[in-house]
Structure 1
């Protein structure tokens, strides 16, 4: 089994409730290389997030559009600093970091153009 701590773009199952699902999918697809599959649910569309063919989470329309889009999770990446730069280039914002976590890796918190917040992290590999 592939470890989410070693696979760029990996996270455990998390959901994003978004005020603009299309823009959210475009933003995260560009940064992490994710693809999406639509599922029609009774409450509306639900978009399965896939990373290298593995379902890892979902995106759903925000049931309360007065609230900002939101989720929390850590995404494994190859280069946190590169992700921070790319997020800003795509209209996002860097909220924290990049910063090292001793004995763990390097991370940052980014905010997409619709206001959702997520963290990107590069874990130290054995021997680093």
Structure 2
């Protein structure tokens, strides 16, 4: 079976941008049985979501607390920079990035012409951190 972390076009990661990470972890931990590991990032803590020992997503503090908490799906791609350029030429908007995540990969957030937001990511050696 192929991994969503290495298969272009696969939905590989789900990230909650939360206005209260502790409450979010308690809520989703109780409902789904998820556990969390804290990863220190330059902008603060990032909480890896684990489901039965498998990393499935993360929870990050909302950089704009005026906006509601929200989920974003990450799609695996071969070249994030190429996807960012293509999205813009097709009427999309680049909201963030492309930017590197140390030891993880490179990502960007895209808004499609209808206003929906999704992220694209290229992973560096996912077998090292999964």
Stretches of 4+ aligned residues off by more than 3 angstroms: none
User: Could you tell me the TM-score, scaled by structure 2's length?
Assistant: 0.51
The residue number in structure 2 matching 1:10 is: 10
SS state of the match for residue 83, structure 1? helix
Normalization by structure 1: what TM-score? 0.52
- For 1:75-123, what per-residue CA distance to the aligned partner results, in whole angstroms no more than 9, with x for missing partners? 0000000000000000000000000000000000000000000000000
The aligned counterpart of 1:77 is 77
Point out where structure 1 has 5 or more consecutive residues left out of the alignment. 15-69
Mapped to 1, the partners of 2:12 and 2:100 lie a distance apart of 21
Q: Between Structure 1 and Structure 2, which shows a larger proportion of strand residues? A: 2
Matches of 2:91 and 2:6, distance apart in 1: 27
Equivalences for residues 57-96 of structure 1 within 5 A: 72-96=72-96
Give distance in 1, aligned partners of 2:111 and 2:71. Answer: 10
How many corresponding residue pairs?
A: 72
Residue 13 of structure 1, CA deviation: 9.3
Answer yes or no: is the 8 Å Cα contact 1:71–1:116 preserved in 2.
Answer: no
